[in-house]
Amino acid sequence: MRTAFIKTLCELAATDARIWLLTADLGYSVLEPFFQQFPGRYVNVGVAEQNMTGIAAGLAMSGKTVFTYSIANFPTMRCLEQIRNDVCYHNADVKVVAVGGGLSYASLGYTHHGVEDLAIMRVLPNMNVIAPGDPVEARLATQAIARHVGPCYLRLGKAGEPIVHKTTPVFEIGKAILLRDGSDVMLVSTGAMLQDVALAAEQLAASGVSPLVLSMPTVQPLDEPALIAGARRTGHIVTIEEHGPGGLADAVAEVLLRHGVHARFRSLCLNRTPIITAGSQTALRSTFGLSVEGICKAARALLADPAP
C-alpha cells in the first residue's frame, strides 16, 4: 500500500504545485521518489511529530495541501493535540498518513501497534478517516483525499499487501465498495483485512452460505445507506478490522442503533488489552480470529445461533 501511495502522490504533485510532503525522519526507501522530484516541497522535520503537524497546519493555512507521513502511532497519537487544535479546529488541508496500521509492525511490540487510531481519529471534528483494503484502494484513496479540502487520515498497511480488486472500483470518500453480493450474512471489512475477508467469502459460498461483502475504506463518514440496506437484506453482520474497540464495529453498531435496524451482529477485532506476545502479523491476527478460518467460523456461528 505504501508504494501505491507514494507513486500516486508523486503523480498528483507533478500536476499540483500545492502538494507538500512532511515526514518525521521516517519513510526511508519509500519517500525518496518524492524528494528527488520535488525537493522544494519535501521536509524531514526530524523526530518531532508535534512540530511536523504544526508546520503542516501553517503550510495549509497558506494555501498548500500537506501530507504528513510516519509509522503507525507516531503521526497520530504523539501529536494528537496538534491534530485536534491546529488541523481539525481550523479545518486545515492536512492529510495525516500512517503506514503500518494495525499489527503491520507486530514484532516491534505495542509501541508500534496502530490499534487505537481509527477510534481516536474518527471522533475528531472535520476529520475523514480512510483505511484502504488493498493497493488499488490505496491509490484511489490518495487521489480522493488530495481532491478533498480539509483534514483526512489515511491508514495504510506496510508493504506487500495483495491486490484484491480485479477491476478498478468507483471510489468516493464516505462510500462503501460492494465486493460481493449475497443474502445470508454481510461481511464488512476495513483496512488490510480485505483479502482474508474475500477468501473467507469464497469458502462460505462453497459451503452453501451466501455472503455479502462490503469493503468499507471510509470509517468516517460511514456509508450508512449501504450498511442499512445490507443489514436489512441479510439480518446478520460480521465486522472485521485489525483494530481494537472503538473502530469499525462501534461505528457500525451506532448506525444500526440510531436507525432502529435489527440484525444479528458479531465483531472480529483485537482486545482492549495490549498485546505483549512477540510474533508475526499473521500469527497475532490468528490469535484474535482475524484469519480466513476465524472469519468463516464467526459467520457460521452467527448464522447457527438461534435468535433470542
For residues 166 and 131, give the distance between their C-alpha atoms in angstroms, rounded to a whole number.
19
Mean pLDDT along residues 157-182? 95
Residue limits of CATH 3.40.50.970 in the chain: 2-155
* pLDDT one-digit tens code per residue, 266-287: 999 999 999 988 889 999 999 9
Mean pLDDT along residues 214-220? 98
Has this prediction a pTM greater than 0.75?
yes
177-304: CATH class: alpha beta
* pLDDT one-digit tens code per residue, 97-148: 999 999 999 989 999 999 999 999 999 999 999 999 999 999 999 999 999 9
Strands 177-180 and 211-215: antiparallel
Architecture of domain 2-155: 3-Layer(aba) Sandwich (3.40)
Q: Is the confidence at residue 72, as pLDDT, over 90? A: no
Residue limits of CATH 3.40.50.920 in the chain: 177-304
**Which runs of consecutive H residues, i.e. helices, occur in the chain?**
2-15, 32-37, 49-61, 80-82, 117-122, 135-147, 194-206, 224-234, 248-258, 281-287, 292-304
Measured distance between the N- and C-terminal CA atoms of the chain, rounded to whole angstroms: 42
